[in-house]
Amino acid sequence: MDEEVAPGGPSRGRGLPQPFEWLFRDRRTGGLTIAQVPNVPLLVFLGAVLVRAVADPTGGLRTALDTIAGVALAAWAIDEIVRGVNPWRRILGAGVLVLAALSWMSR
């Protein structure tokens, strides 16, 4: 979903509302970034959730999969907060981290 960057810096003013530009514009490339290919922590989280859903394990295996999924999701969220390419990615990471923490605290 990235756009070409005009020589001399990020592109601006393509008729998009300014809040949209601010939220979704990649600060490094100038392209619009809403979603990206999943990175390793997110793939680990999705894999653990998939195994848990398909195998429906109990006991220690269930606990291990829950722990792996939780740690991977937290790692992904923290990575987005720290290295997100735009405010949207950082807000998404912070939101996921807050929801995950609330979920863990309610157990």
Looking at residue 2, what is its pLDDT?
A: 47
Name the residue ranges covered by the structural domains of the chain.
1-34, 37-105
Looking at residue 7, what is its pLDDT?
A: 41
According to DSSP, residue 106 is labeled T
Looking at residue 11, what is its pLDDT?
A: 47
> Measuring CA to CA, which residue among 74, 92, 93, 76 is closest to residue 41?
76
Looking at residue 16, what is its pLDDT?
A: 80
d(CA 56, CA 5) in angstroms, rounded, equals 47
Looking at residue 12, what is its pLDDT?
A: 53
Instruction: Spell out the per-residue pLDDT of the chain, length 107, in tens.
Output: 444 444 444 545 567 899 999 999 998 999 999 888 889 999 999 999 999 999 999 999 999 999 999 999 999 999 999 999 999 999 999 999 999 999 989 98
